[in-house]
A and B are shown apart, each in its own frame.
Chain A
Amino acid sequence: MSNYTAIREWADEKTADKTRIVVGLGTCGIAAGGNKILDAVEKTLANNDAIKADVVSVGCIGICYKEPLLDIEIPGKPRLSYGSVTARDTKEILENIFLNNKYEHKKALAVIGDETFEGIPSWKEIPFFAPQERRVLRNCGFIDPEKIEEYIANDGYAGLSRALVEMTPAEVIDETLDAGLRGRGGAGFPAGRKWSIAADNIHTYKEKNPNSDAFGYVICNADEGDPGAFMNRSVLEGDPHSVIEGMTIAGYAIGATYGYIYCRAEYPLAIERLKLAIDQAREKNLLGKNILGTEFSFEIKLKEGAGAFVCGEETALIASIEGLRGMPMPRPPYPAQAGLWEVPTIINNVETLNNIPVILAKGAEVWAEKGTEKSKGTKTFALTGKVENTGLIEVELGMSLREVIYDIGGGIPDGKEFKAAQTGGPSGGCLPASMLDLTIDYEALAKAGSIMGSGGLVIMDTSTCMVDVARYFLTFTQSESCGKCVPCRLGTKRMLEILTRITEGKGKIEDIALLEELAPSIRDSSLCGLGQSAPNPVLTTLKYFREEYEAHILDGHCPAGQCKALITYTIDEVDCTGCTLCAISCPVDAISGAKKELHIIDTDICTRCDTCRQVCNFDAVLIDGNLL
């Protein structure tokens, strides 16, 4: 019996036939009040001796707009999920199920899994889940991320076992190459090719430095810095072992002895769960010396980032681990040639590494069945912004933007119209309605002027100002520019000044040409991806929404009604009931009017804080004469 079989048997036994009450406690679940649900579960159990179940907290299953979630698993029955639950619902649901054998409830959301249950729809019938293909998120929201046995019982570490026991390192690299897995951090470089270059360099390094402490490093880039993206956080919080397994397989493939996980300090829960997972893996001999009884040894250390977007860039990340300012270096030499402390190093994103165990466990051929010819597999996205169903999703590459936004996302809320989809964060671009049928793959997105990026997908409606969005991203890249390359340091600053000027109504028509002149200079003369891609949000908005720039400059008008200097708030004389709510709420006392009479806003005093419009129950507050 191999070492893995023994571990698997232990895990299966430990997890078999359990009645479980599951609460989603990823960061978003906690923010939505998940802890109150957990308290309610524990209280109900304490008050009812007849209810016997394990209480389990899991990571995010992705359906964020239905948080907090409560799931019930009873042996012999499918897993039932209840959404948007309150503490009172929790008590009711648990007592109904365990004391009265009644499963229906107004908050019943879906049956999770392949089975069916009368009276509750299958998750395959829920539009949010139906078109999704869950591979990266295979365990997120299903297993307790703090229990290694649950990961193992779901085929966890099977890929590592196959690699170590049945394959040579070269065969592991070939399998990854065959799968066609491309880097999920955004740029899309083939993972297998990166590994193969590193493996050759490690071989040479070993010959030259036989007494070195380390011959190669595997770094997991968990410095998810794009604002509006949380895919990596969810994986780290919900399935930390998948990343550890992926790194260990990578280590074996290239001949590395150490791994580092460089994780954002803003993700405290992810860090906590990673630390625990590393300890558990070590305890079960899935990490450390002579893994699974083989010759291969590998250690993983955790490094917390300190809040610098540029550290997502490989050479800057390495500088940061070395204790320096995280500034990029010219390449070559590439990290695979001379990386951390000049030792050959590979850096892979969380999602890339998470895919590795699946490739090894199921084989490259099965893995590559999904996707397009050049973009294989699936991709996770954080679907957010002005869309009905927000959440973490995973789709087969090649799906159209329209399917993602309208089928999974459920379209635009409040009957408004779609304006743009933003992919790739500050390095990406804004795609207009005419591109809704674009397929999601590396080439198509790049051709449209955006990038795949790490997976942020922010939807914008007609109340989003595209000039302001460009200004927003430039504010970000300008403040995150490390300052090393002059075109990036000063170029982004000048671009930001121009964009700010336009949003303030002080722009000139020549400014558009100036932006178009600055963009290629910044792109072509910056060392790293931050500067090279910083102009993308400006270029795509200029390309697809030029008329909005012109409206700001020529007409002094913000079509979306967002740019404070260009808008005026008024109260509609027909709809105003004189309820006084706006006047009471106005922080600067700019609204006057007697009870039950029309109220008036003094535009000289008004700060455009939008409070009156948000508190008005009668849609009587207008921006530039329009109801937004």
Chain B
Amino acid sequence: MTVSTQDRSALIPLLQQVQVEMGYVPREAITEIGKELHVSTSDIFGVLTFYAQFRLTPVGKHQVKICQGTACHVQGAPLIIDAVEEELGLDDAHDTTKDGEFTLEKVACFGACSLAPVMIIDEDTKGNITPDKARRMVRKIIKAQAAKAKKSAADKNNGEAKNE
């Protein structure tokens, strides 16, 4: 069976749908979509790696996005990126922390240039950010996470104690 050229245009929307649901495009999805659309895996891989939007590895629980647009750049975005990378132990080759908690994404431009520099953590957009503020925002989440972990460990212990 051959695919019509118009079917092929479903490829990118399908990959986008997978990414919305999974946070990334896993290998199995590539194979599955390839079978469905009669497009080779290598071809799909070519498309996936061409577009910046697609990820091939899982995304962290918390997403930190820093704008790299021109307005943000001249207002000091590189210093914010350095600060957050240092805080999370990330670099150009690693965008997700080893514990899978954070992913740092450097975005081309949010288009919120009048608030430059801009950083988004999860759904929270913050404008006029400084390296210091950025560090504190990240630390706050780490702290909240640790407190939560401690509480659930304590609850678990309590539960076990009660069961005994």
CB within 8 Å of B: which residues of A? 27-28, 30-32, 64-65, 67, 224-230, 233, 265-267, 303-309, 320-327, 341, 382, 384-386, 390-391, 422, 425, 456, 458, 460, 464, 469, 472-473, 476, 482, 585, 587, 607, 609-611, 614-615
Contacts and interface: CB of A to CB of B under 8 A. Distances in A.
B6 A615 contact: no
B3 to A, nearest CB: 10
A391 B79 CA distance: 24
A609 B131 contact: yes
Interface in B145-162: none
Given A228-B113, A306-B16, A322 B51 contact: no
Contact of B82 (A325, A476, A609): A609
A607 B70 contact: no
Contacts of B47: 323-325
Contacts of B83: 587, 609, 611
B71 A31 contact: no
A305 B109 CA distance: 14
B56 interface: no
A460 B10 CA distance: 43
Nearest to B13: A304
B125 A323 contact: no
Interface centre among A228, A266, A303, A615 (most CB of B within 10 A): A228
A306 B9 contact: no
B163 interface: no
A229 B109 contact: yes
B109 A609 contact: no
Question: Max chain B CB contacts within 10 Å: which of A226, A458, A482?
Answer: A458
B115 interface: yes
7 contacts: A28-B115, A67-B114, A324-B8, A384-B71, A385-B113, A458-B113, A472-B73
Interface residues of B, number: 48
B135 A306 contact: no
Nearest to A612: B132
A230 B111 contact: yes
Contact of B70 (A267, A425, A482): A425
B114 A65 contact: yes
A306 B109 contact: no
Residue from B47, B74, B107 having most chain A Cβ neighbours under 10 A: B74
Interface of B: 5-6, 8-13, 15-16, 46-47, 50-54, 68-71, 73-76, 79, 82-83, 86-87, 107-116, 118, 125-127, 130-132, 135
B76, B87, B110, B135: residue with the most chain A Cβ atoms closer than 10 Å: B110
Would you list the 3 A-B pairs with minimal beta carbon distance, nearest first? A228-B70, A230-B111, A64-B114
A27 B110 contact: yes
Given A322-B8, A323-B11, A585-B132, A391 B82 contact: no
Nearest to B115: A31
B127 A31 contact: yes
A307 B51 contact: yes
Given A28-B114, A304-B16, A341 B46 contact: no
The binding surface of chain B is classed by DSSP as: helix
A433 B31 CA distance: 57
Given A227-B70, A425-B70, A390 B112 contact: no
Contact of A609 (B5, B8, B9, B79): B79
A228 B53 contact: no
Contacts of A326: 50-51
Nearest to A614: B130
A390 B113 contact: yes
A306 B69 CA distance: 17
Nearest to A325: B50
A42 B49 CA distance: 45
A229 B10 CA distance: 29
Contacts of A585: 132
Nearest to B79: A610
Nearest to B124: A31
A32 B127 contact: yes
Contacts of A473: 70
Name the residue in B79, B114, B125 with the highest tally of chain A Cβ atoms < 10 Å from its Cβ: B114
Nearest to B76: A610
A614 B50 contact: no
B10 A323 contact: yes
A488 to B, nearest CB: 15
A308 B115 contact: no
A385 B79 contact: no
B69 A227 contact: yes
B16 A322 contact: no
Contacts of A385: 70-71, 74-75, 113, 116
A609 B87 CA distance: 12
Nearest to B82: A609
A233 B70 contact: no
Contact of B74 (A230, A305, A458): A458
Given A28-B115, A31-B118, A306 B127 contact: no
Contacts of B71: 227-228, 384-385, 390, 458
Nearest to A260: B9
Nearest to B133: A614
Contacts of B113: 228-230, 382, 384-385, 390, 458
Contacts of A325: 46-47, 50
Contacts of A456: 70
Contacts of A304: 12-13, 16
B148 to A, nearest CB: 25
Nearest to B86: A587
Nearest to A460: B74
